[in-house]
Structure 1
Amino acid sequence: MEQLLKRSEVPVEHQWKIEDLFADQKAWDQTYTDLLKEVKKAAEFEGKLDTSDAVKSCFALEDDISLKTERLFVYAHLHHDEDTANPTYQALSAKAKKLSVQIGEALSFITPEILSLPDDKLDAFIEDPTLAEYKFTLTEMKREKAHVLSKAEEALLAQVGNLSQAPQTIFGMLNNADIKFPKIKDENGKEVELTHGSYIQFLENPNRDVRRRAFQAVYETYAKQKNTIAATLSANVNKNIFYSTVRKYPSVLEMSLYGDNIPKEVYTNLVDTIHESLPLLHRYMKLRKKLLGVDELHMYDLFAPLVDEYKMDISYEDAKKTVSAGLKPLGPDYLKSLQEGFDNSWIDVYENESKRTGAYSWGAYGTHPYVLLNHKDNLNSMFTLAHEMGHALHSYYSDNALKYRDAQYTIFLAEVASTTNEALLMDYLLKKSTDPKEKMYLLTYYADQFRTTVFRQTMFAEFEKIVHERAEQGDALTPQALSEIYYDLNVKYHGKEMAVDKDIEMEWARIPHFYNSFYVYKYATGFSAATSFSKQILEEGQPAVERYLGFLKSGGSDFSINILKKAGVDMSSPQPIREAMSVFEDVIKQMEELTK
């Protein structure tokens, strides 16, 4: 095990260049001081937002304040993440967080005040040429208006806010702090610790008995807490129903989709189209069974390695070259921007002592994006590089094409650009590969992405939909009811090739996403949209590339569904999901060929 470098020892060429945000701490402090003065000006607009000139000046000030706050915040947090033990940056990031809250409070009067105007006044603002650059903002405000209550009711709901966090907080405490799993025997008969973190590693263990023991131990542990967890999940569902009723939405599902202005059909289409594609998942299960050489495929075999670990030693320099080669179909303009990121210190490459784990892309409008990696010389890290640079270039194109307010894209769109990069890279690697072992390793990696990101997340999304509908009809969400719904879905999704173990009926109890309701479908739609984009780019070439770059430049300047539609991916139709499924079918076919 190599000794980790201290932050001060990391070579400068492997570090991101944070001074592109602020030259030094002194410049940060100066902006901070200026901003505190500037924010006082916002109060001058309170009670006066009834003319287009006042609204325009107020929005311009709001943009300026928000952008400066964002820059201060990002600078402090990037420094904090590169060395979380550094007390200077711990303090700076706390200071930035506090500032962010303070600014939020100072500007919080703007939206309610504009929303209190009569509809005809709002309509006049939307059509007013002097407010042209804020047309989308005002249209969005008008759309929200139908669900905004009176000032007194809104104040009351704000006070209920803390209470509404209770189900999620209680589940988090129970799941992370109180639940203790028993020790299990590993492949050498040694007693080992079973934890949330080690569970997936046990499921990936080549030894089947180890997998089974881990699987049973986890679900037996949850089964002992089933009444408490069912009550917690039920409380979360009831909280959602309370908000959707009070805010006059037809259902919780429609309330959850309203923020991104996503039609209900997008959700129901996803579930219906995945249902029609279940024979493909069943075919993959049959192939898994064959490759594992087992008489019965069990739920604890889903993560078992299908091929011997294929060692792919990929240095960071090689990863950059391969990613560039894989993204060549996106054309010279995209490759030039990608190279700019590689050459100009956008990326913090390797792990160092106390550096934040994982990977992300982040930044502030007006400067280039930043990417945090903890690169290891393997396939996974190369895909992470492609993924995060997809996010970075999405922001880069949007920021360069649009004004601050319109450049921010929604979460619904966020995963599309990153996953398109991964799909193109995968296609390149598969076409280039001549070693059957390497090819099988890549195909397995890809097939499991379809299984976990599209099928599994859609199954979660369907579970949420059924559970909320039952509760909305007045049914009680007992542990028995939740387990039965969940078990039946597993049987439906995995098909006859799978021996669906009874223990899996408790899996609903360990999924934290169920407390962030109707969110997981975005993983499946994002992956489908990205797979559809990559298929169009590879098959059509230039016209599809132009549409795709148009998507990257659209930020949040229109509703997400419209932005995708203009670029050739209509998520309100089954088409993109079917296109993604045809790619999945092709992956299975290639795997079947290799196993003949």
Structure 2
Amino acid sequence: MSQTSSQVTKRSDVPAEHRWKLEDLFANQNEWDQEYAIVKKQLDKVAEFQGTLKDASSVKACFELEDDISLHMERLYVYANMRHHEDTADPTYMALSEKAKKLSVEVSEALSFITPEILALPEETLKGFIDDPQLSAYKFTLEEMLRQKPHVLPKEQEALMAQVGNLSQAPNTIFGMINNADMKFPKVRDENGEERDLTHGSYIQFLESENREVRANAFKAMYDTYAKQKNTLAATLNANVTKNLFYAKVRNYPSALEMSLYGDNIPKEVYTNLIDTIHQHLPLLQRYLDLRQTMLGVDELHMYDLFAPLIEEAKMTIPYEEAQQKVIESLEPLGEEYLKVLKGSFEEGWIDIYENEGKRSGAYSWGAYGTHPYVLLNHKDNLNSMFTLAHEMGHAMHSYLSDTHLPYRDAQYTIFLAEVASTLNEALLMDYMLKRTEDPKSKMYLLTYYADQFRTTVFRQTMFAEFEKIIHEKAEQGEALTPQLLSDIYYELNKKYHGDRMVVDKDIAMEWARIPHFYTSFYVYKYATGFSAATSFSKQILEEGQPAVDRYLGFLKSGGSDFSINILKKAGVDMSSPKPIAEAMSVFESIIEEMEETAKLLK
């Protein structure tokens, strides 16, 4: 069965086979209420540990209680919010979601003393805990605490830093208000000559227009608007950088970049290798841009041409059942163990498939330890929805295999690893589709889709990461981040990445002002490393077969039981070396070559 966009139904009318089975978490509201009451009682017990964490037995008992409370809280929170997402207008689950959020805050506050109290102990005591058989299940947790110890301040200073934390949100909050509430964009004429509002949401639609004048007008209107606010936005970004420098100095880190990488224990070389290796492969990006210019049939390629469609969308109608089957077949290289769980997930109520009135938009994978993961979709019968299904099932399978092979505390994987499994599934699905697509037009559509993922996820995000690195280094050297300096740095990076053969329009110099990720500093590189790691895995799996599959399944089962960089390294992807980035670039090169050959057939 499929569902067209005109068939948006009420939640109560959605057939059971199209819903996720949240009863696997809580059979009914009464069960949820009982577990809620258990957590409230447990919070009283936590307080009894305060001031007692001086020996291994006390620490063990406290950690066990912390895990029990956290797991109950996770179940309560996930269930309440997923019920709310089924129909966001339903007041019952809106209230339940709020109730769960309030309890979550209470739990965080109640548990907040544990880490500082343990870290206040002498280093020798901590090392003794690490070697104590009683605490063997918490060895990695304690090692991580010891690693963080040099950057934790005395109790009174930590209390002061906690209060500063509220102030530190100001740059992000102010940027959000300017960007989302106060920024007013002009109207832009569309392909039909009708005036339409230019918004954050419609901007990409204008850039994807087949009409070049529409693209150019939207591009200019967007950056003219930001240019009018350049002084305020530069001051806001500067405040965020200053905040980072403050934290790095107070917590004894060599730089703001190294502070941000320290949390996941990522060597600085991972960040710098990414930038250096991408620099070496910029001719590949520029080769793709040359091909884009040729296929668009334009004398000059401009910045506003980068999202223009190269080929009319190949109409691929793919009903959900067919998408499911194609995803299963595309993931056959991962072996029977993986496929058995995947097939079971389609039959066991993991997935909420179609849109209904009030349902949360988009897609995600979520869940709680001890129960299978869940996937929310808003499936349309098209290519994008099929790739979304593959992507979210990658997340779900990663969570399932981590949860079933590890205790609760070790099963939680980091954001650095989070997009690897999902992107690998997309890479295998793309390989499957390309091998079975004969029609040149459909093939070109698929190749363009894949090439643009490399352009936007690897090259563009690396350029963002390099911009962040430069502006923090400038600030650390005492330079003022003026609007002109920020724009000059950003414009020169665009010229470097896009090359001399395309027109790097001056307007793009203001793009730094509209990137919200710059307020979550040194985060965007994870998109590029995750995509590169996944591409490296897929290449190994398709070329080596079983040995690579075994290493990859080992990665999925490792959760957060070690530092992210070590987990990937054991599985055959060493992100501290340039090799995975270079392997991803070789895949990108093969895509461009295939596009060039396919383009000849379309003439």
- Note whether the superposition's TM-score is higher than 0.5: yes
Contact 2:88 2:94 in 1 (8 A): yes
CA distance in 1, matches of 2:301, 2:36: 60
* Alignment-derived partner of residue 207 in structure 1: 211
How large is the RMSD of aligned CA atoms in angstroms?
Answer: 0.6
Per-residue CA deviation, residues 309-362 of structure 1 (Å, 9 max, x unaligned), is 110100000000000010010001101111111110100000100100000000
CA distance in 1, matches of 2:526, 2:539: 20
Contact 2:444 2:599 in 1 (8 A): no
Contact 2:274 2:529 in 1 (8 A): yes
Per-residue CA deviation, residues 545-574 of structure 1 (Å, 9 max, x unaligned), is 000000000000000000000000000000
Letter in 2 for 1:304: A
CA distance in 1, matches of 2:434, 2:225: 41
* Alignment-derived partner of residue 457 in structure 2: 453
Is residue 2:379 matched to residue 1:375? yes
* Alignment-derived partner of residue 250 in structure 1: 254
CA distance in 1, matches of 2:140, 2:66: 16
Is residue 2:401 matched to residue 1:397? yes
* Alignment-derived partner of residue 556 in structure 2: 552
Residue number among 587, 592, 595 corresponding to 1:591 in the alignment: 595
CA distance in 1, matches of 2:253, 2:238: 20
Letter in 1 for 2:180: N
Residue number among 558, 561, 570 corresponding to 2:565 in the alignment: 561
Contact 2:398 2:556 in 1 (8 A): yes
Residue number among 271, 275, 280 corresponding to 1:276 in the alignment: 280
Contact 2:198 2:218 in 1 (8 A): yes
* Alignment-derived partner of residue 498 in structure 2: 494
Residue number among 146, 149, 153 corresponding to 2:153 in the alignment: 149
Q: Secondary structure at the match of 2:191?
A: coil
CA distance in 2, matches of 1:334, 1:192: 48
CA distance in 1, matches of 2:282, 2:357: 46
* Alignment-derived partner of residue 289 in structure 2: 285
CA distance in 2, matches of 1:77, 1:24: 15
* Alignment-derived partner of residue 138 in structure 2: 134
* Alignment-derived partner of residue 441 in structure 2: 437
Is residue 2:397 matched to residue 1:385? no
Give the CA deviation at 1:500.
0.5
* Alignment-derived partner of residue 298 in structure 1: 302
CA distance in 2, matches of 1:38, 1:357: 35
Per-residue CA deviation, residues 434-473 of structure 1 (Å, 9 max, x unaligned), is 1111110000000000000000000000000000000000
Per-residue CA deviation, residues 292-322 of structure 1 (Å, 9 max, x unaligned), is 0000000000000001111010000000000
- Equivalences for residues 30-109 of structure 1 within 5 A: 30-109=34-113
Aligned length: 596
Per-residue CA deviation, residues 236-292 of structure 1 (Å, 9 max, x unaligned), is 000100010001100000000011000000000000000000000010010000000
* Alignment-derived partner of residue 323 in structure 1: 327
CA distance in 2, matches of 1:466, 1:82: 44
Give the CA deviation at 1:496.
1.9
CA distance in 2, matches of 1:4, 1:420: 32
Letter in 2 for 1:570: D
* Alignment-derived partner of residue 225 in structure 1: 229
CA distance in 2, matches of 1:223, 1:348: 43
Contact 2:209 2:309 in 1 (8 A): yes
Per-residue CA deviation, residues 478-504 of structure 1 (Å, 9 max, x unaligned), is 000000000000000001221100000
Residue number among 187, 192, 198 corresponding to 2:191 in the alignment: 187
Q: Secondary structure at the match of 1:297?
A: coil
CA distance in 2, matches of 1:123, 1:202: 59
CA distance in 2, matches of 1:96, 1:495: 51
Residue number among 411, 414, 431 corresponding to 1:407 in the alignment: 411
CA distance in 1, matches of 2:171, 2:117: 32
Residue number among 482, 501, 507 corresponding to 1:478 in the alignment: 482
Deviates more, 1:430-439 or 1:184-193: 184-193
Per-residue CA deviation, residues 102-139 of structure 1 (Å, 9 max, x unaligned), is 01111111111100000000000001111111000000
Per-residue CA deviation, residues 408-454 of structure 1 (Å, 9 max, x unaligned), is 00000000000000000000101111111111000000000000000
Per the alignment, do residues 313 and 235 of structure 1 end up closer, same or farther by CA in structure 2, a change over 3 Å counting?
same
Runs of 4+ deviating beyond 3 Å: none
CA distance in 1, matches of 2:397, 2:194: 48
* Alignment-derived partner of residue 512 in structure 1: 516
Residue number among 15, 21, 25 corresponding to 1:17 in the alignment: 21
Give the CA deviation at 1:3.
4.3
Give the CA deviation at 1:42.
1.2
Q: Secondary structure at the match of 1:261?
A: coil
